[in-house]
């Protein structure tokens, strides 16, 4: 930090500290010491994040395993990870304003992201529950600030490496939770041809498909660091990749598993990973020839295999997604202008007779269709534009980035490709943490695509 910025932060922190001390004393007498201690801890975290926004960002990723913990905040609550992502975005804005600079960094993704945020606004007036729309708007705006912070990094390799390592470690912890959950609970079972699965792991999330999405985002970066990361960290990254893969397998998410296959397919385009993959395949083939199928007796492998085979059975009309998609045109036609509002699909679907045996549909089971129904034509155009622009940035990143960082570029590309594939049958960005992680990877792609050339606002380092 510059001396001038340090002085400005000190001037802002001193009166805030005095006010915080007074509030802490009052809370101690009225609410008890635990509330006061929580307030003090929160103030310390905010101060550290303001001084070093990257600390806040990495802390947000480290807190992802606590995603099922909700802190009281308004009607819906807020998770620790959501709070830290929001705090990081706010800290970045404050830091830039104290420097007399704009917090925005020019990128090819700014306009589609802005269009998506604009498409949220009508829902504040028209949605059945506008509070949900307001929370989404505030969260996504905060994530956009974090996006700008990383996009303008002056040291993209180092920054993306830190993010990739923390995301991989978070995926590892979530994978441990999913593994323990599957081992301690009832055995996972498939019904019929495998189209219905019971006792699926959810890990640190509320739904197994969200677990699959997060593990799919963490897995390729863990693989990239295991092959090309700092040597002392490679064993740790290898273990993180194995645990993330286990979490993905225990989710039994067909969309997530196919997305994982696409992820590995993209990683194969990177020659160092291709060599490792060929070596692994050779070992498996050798074991199969000498000792039969080495994985054939593992129950989880059989369960996953049967689960994937059920796709052909579901495609014959059994999958409820097909019935849902047939009924969506009328819903789209009635709400194409402004949509029904963010996170309002489940409140509107009953009017169109869209029910399940256990309730109603939460979303359209497709990324683009859900954007079209909830955010209208502007949201749909925004997300399609964002996909196209991100693809161009990712390809550039893989081509121009330094050879030392090329593995990270392929890891980011593989993670985003897998997310897009799963998004054709699922809509897991109900989780704000998933939205934050996806935007974070998009910003990593932008930063790496500028590797070797000056980044706009490169003097505005995130610290």
User: For residues 102 and 276, what is the distance between their CA atoms, to the nearest angstrom?
Assistant: 44
Over pLDDT 70: what percentage of the chain? 76
From 60, 114, 122, select the one nearest 90 (Cα to Cα): 60
Q: Given a cut of 70, is residue 288 above it in pLDDT?
A: no
Burial of 296 (0-12, 13-18, 19+ CB in 10 A): exposed
Banded pLDDT at 26 (limits 50, 70, 90): very low
User: For residues 131 and 115, what is the distance between their CA atoms, to the nearest angstrom?
Assistant: 20
> Residue 78: phi, psi to the nearest 5?
-145, 140
Q: Which two tokens stand for residue 420?
A: 């897009």
Run of H or E residues at 196: strand 196-198
Residue 91 sits at the vertex; the CA angle it makes with 408 and 240, to the nearest 5 degrees, is 30
Q: Given a cut of 70, is residue 274 above it in pLDDT?
A: yes
Run of H or E residues at 443: helix 432-449
Instruction: Note the pLDDT of residue 360.
Output: 79
Strand partners, 78: 71
Burial of 225 (0-12, 13-18, 19+ CB in 10 A): buried
**Maximum CA pair distance of the chain?**
74
Run of H or E residues at 190: strand 189-191
From 151, 212, 222, 85, select the one nearest 389 (Cα to Cα): 151
CA distances 215 to 210, 420, 440, Å, are 9, 14, 15
**Out of 27-31, 102-106, 163-167, 420-424, which region has the weakest mean confidence (pLDDT)?**
27-31
Run of H or E residues at 355: strand 355-356
Q: Which residue has the higher pLDDT, 7 or 177?
A: 177
Q: What is the pLDDT of residues 345-365, one digit of tens each?
A: 988 888 888 877 667 788 888
User: For residues 312 and 360, what is the distance between their CA atoms, to the nearest angstrom?
Assistant: 25
Banded pLDDT at 13 (limits 50, 70, 90): very low
User: For residues 74 and 434, what is the distance between their CA atoms, to the nearest angstrom?
Assistant: 21
Residues belonging to the chain: 463
Domain boundaries, the chain: 112-449
Q: What is the pLDDT of residues 259-271, one digit of tens each?
A: 999 999 999 999 9
Banded pLDDT at 460 (limits 50, 70, 90): very low
* pTM assigned to the model: 0.86
User: Mean pLDDT, the chain, as a whole number?
Assistant: 82
Q: Which residue has the higher pLDDT, 265 or 182?
A: 265
Q: Which two tokens stand for residue 215?
A: 């593990």
User: For residues 363 and 343, what is the distance between their CA atoms, to the nearest angstrom?
Assistant: 8
Whether 422 contacts 428, CB under 8 Å: yes
């Amino acid at each position: 930090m510059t001396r001038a910025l340090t002085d400005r932060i000190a001037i802002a922190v001193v009166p805030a500290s005095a006010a915080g001390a007074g509030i802490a004393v009052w809370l101690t007498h009225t609410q008890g010491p635990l509330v006061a201690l929580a307030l003090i801890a929160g103030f310390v975290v905010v101060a550290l994040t303001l001084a070093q926004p990257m600390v806040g960002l990495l802390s947000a990723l480290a807190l992802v395993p606590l995603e099922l913990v909700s802190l009281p905040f308004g009607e819906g609550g807020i998770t620790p990870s959501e709070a830290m992502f929001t705090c990081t975005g706010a800290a970045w804005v404050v830091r830039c304003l104290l420097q007399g600079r704009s917090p925005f960094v020019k990128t090819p993704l700014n306009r589609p992201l802005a269009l998506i945020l604009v498409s949220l606004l009508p829902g504040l007036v028209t949605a059945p529950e506008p509070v949900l729309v307001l929370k989404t708007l505030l969260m996504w705006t905060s994530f956009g600030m974090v996006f700008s912070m990383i996009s303008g990094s002056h040291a993209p390799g180092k920054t993306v490496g830190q993010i990739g390592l923390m995301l991989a470690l978070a995926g590892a912890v979530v994978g441990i939770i999913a593994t323990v959950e599957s081992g301690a609970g009832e055995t996972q079972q498939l019904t019929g041809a495998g189209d219905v699965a019971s006792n699926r792991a959810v890990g640190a999330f509320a739904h197994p498909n969200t677990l699959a999405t997060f593990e799919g985002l963490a897995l390729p970066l863990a693989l990239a660091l295991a092959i090309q990361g700092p040597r002392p960290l490679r064993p740790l990254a290898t273990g993180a990749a194995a645990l993330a893969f286990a979490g993905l397998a225990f989710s039994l998410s067909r969309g997530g598993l196919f997305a994982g296959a696409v992820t590995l397919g993209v990683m194969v385009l990177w020659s160092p990973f291709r060599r490792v993959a060929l070596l692994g395949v050779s070992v498996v083939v050798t074991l199969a020839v000498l000792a039969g199928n080495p994985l054939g007796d593992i129950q989880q492998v059989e369960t996953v295999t049967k689960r994937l085979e059920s796709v052909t059975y579901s495609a014959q009309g059994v999958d409820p997604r097909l019935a849902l998609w047939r009924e969506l045109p009328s819903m789209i036609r009635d709400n194409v202008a402004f949509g029904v509002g963010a996170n309002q699909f489940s409140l509107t679907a009953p009017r169109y007779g869209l029910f399940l045996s256990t309730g109603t549909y939460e979303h359209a089971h497709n990324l683009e269709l859900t954007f079209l129904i909830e955010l209208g034509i502007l949201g749909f155009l925004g997300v399609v534009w964002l996909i196209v622009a991100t693809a161009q940035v990712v390809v550039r990143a893989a081509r121009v980035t330094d050879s030392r960082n090329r593995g990270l570029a392929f890891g980011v590309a593989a993670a985003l490709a897998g997310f897009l594939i799963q998004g054709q049958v699922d809509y897991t960005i109900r989780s704000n943490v998933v939205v934050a992680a996806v935007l974070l990877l998009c910003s990593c792609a932008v930063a790496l695509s500028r590797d070797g050339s000056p980044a706009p606002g490169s003097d505005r380092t995130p610290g």
